[in-house]
Amino acid sequence: MGPFRLLTAYLPIFLAFVLHTSIPSVAGEEAIRPVVVTKVSGTVNPGMADYISSCVHQASTRDAECLVIQLDTPGGLAQSMRSIVKTIFASPVPVVVYVGPSGARAASAGVMITLAADIAAMAPGTNIGAAHPVNLGQKEMDETMSDKVVNDMVAYVRSIAERRNRNSEWPEKAVRESVSVTEKEALELNVIDLVAADLDALLSRIDGWELPGKEGVRTAGAERVVLTETLRDKVLKIISDPNVAYLLMMIGLAGLYFELSHPGTIFPGVVGAISLILAFFAFQTLPVNYAGILLIGLALVLFILEMKITSYGLLSLGGIICLFLGSLMLFRETGGLRLSWSVLLPTVIMVSGFFVAVAALVFRAQVSRPRTGDAGLIGEVGLVKNTIAPEGKVFVHGELWRAVAKDPIPEGEKVRVTGIKGLVLDVEKAEDD
């Protein structure tokens, strides 16, 4: 058989082999798109918003099938919640919010985050709801302002539910009446899409799930990429609480103040500097009112001046007033968590007391008679060891000194130091008390 006939005979077999091996390879490449999974818990704050935004970006970069956010939150800042909702809506990758594990909840701001997901799921033994806006730690809003805030939040949550084709009546009750439901009730009310016992069951249930405007989700056999919080995320999440950020700033100011009033102690200055840096790192993510920061800074200046100027407490009083007003004004209205009175008042009282006490100690040290060095000998009482006529020796402050006096003073008499010239003391006879 010639070469041409051999090629003609085996060419169909060769082509069939190539097609058989290449087509499954392409399908396999399509099937290995990963599923990105992350756990999010705690209050809704700028740290959480930043972390979820980072997760969405990483899922998009990996061309993931979907991003699964396992959520457990009591709620938090409205501004941060809106930021998370916008991030989910803008995500090119389908976002699945899974309220879990059992015992978890999606309360307050967590309701909006769950409703915004492409697929909303809950684990058995979880609950969702109680989304009425609150203003924790501050004075109560008047009725008109309260109605405005509630109506704004109702319109917002209804728009989210309608965009995802979910029940928009129940979310309104969650805002107006603070109602909360279990996972079974949420499924019956069309608040969520499904209930899954765990992550494995969730991925199995959503395999093949079709989403309007996006590709269907294919999770069967997909690799799982688990994202965890970095150290930066953890630190930002903790200090993004307004109460923690405020305490850090107060610790920082107190530490620097102590270092300035007692140079060389080092430790308070180091702790104060670190605390201030962390506080200002948190402030870049919080709705800070810079008038509040200026008032607190002015309070620090007044406390420092108290150490230099005799004001009979007026500068300290002004510092306390500035510190209190600055603390009240530090964070702007957000419609969510705020600086709590239970943190603000004790902190202002303790920090003000600390500043005043240190200033008083410094002032007392400045006006008190020196206890060391040459000046510390003035006024000390000693004993004549060699008769002074007009020069002799006296024992003062544990040391033997040369001394002179206007009048002769015999050995054994007590003398008082009135001056010092070089290494010679001016003394006079001490009067008996």
Q: Which of 125, 102, 134, 106 is nearest to 43 (CA)?
A: 106
Pairing outcome for strands 224-227 and 381-386: unpaired
Decide: 253 and 293 in contact? Cβ < 8 Å: no
Quickly state the pLDDT bin for 339 (edges 50, 70, 90).
confident
Quickly state the pLDDT bin for 144 (edges 50, 70, 90).
confident
Q: Active-site residue numbers?
A: 108, 148
Decide: 162 and 176 in contact? Cβ < 8 Å: no
**Cα Rg of the chain (Å, integer):** 37
pLDDT for 258 equals 82
CA distances to 79, 189, 242 from 89, in Å:
16, 22, 27
Q: What percent of the chain has pLDDT over 70?
A: 84
Q: Tell me: the pLDDT tens digits for 29-64?
A: 455 689 999 999 988 888 899 899 999 999 999 999
Q: Tell me: the pLDDT tens digits for 87-116?
A: 999 999 999 999 999 999 999 999 999 999
| DSSP conformational letter for 299 | H
pLDDT for 136 equals 42
- Averaged pLDDT for residues 128-134: 84
pLDDT for 139 equals 46
Tell me the C-alpha distance between 378 and 428, whole Å. 12
- Averaged pLDDT for residues 172-177: 93
Is pLDDT larger for residue 356 or for residue 157?
157
Is pLDDT larger for residue 26 or for residue 128?
128
- State residue 386 phi and psi, 5-degree precision: -125, 135
Asked if the model's pLDDT at residue 20 lies above 60, the reply is: no
pLDDT for 22 equals 46
pLDDT for 28 equals 41
Pairing outcome for strands 424-429 and 399-404: parallel
pLDDT for 19 equals 46
Tell me the C-alpha distance between 265 and 306, whole Å. 20
> Please, which residues bridge with residue 225 across strands?
36
**DSSP notation for 88-146:** HHH-SS-EEEEE-STT-EEETHHHHHHHHSSEEEE-TT-EEE------TTSPPPPHHHH
Find how far residue 59's CA is from the centre of its chain: 26
The predicted model scores a pTM of: 0.66
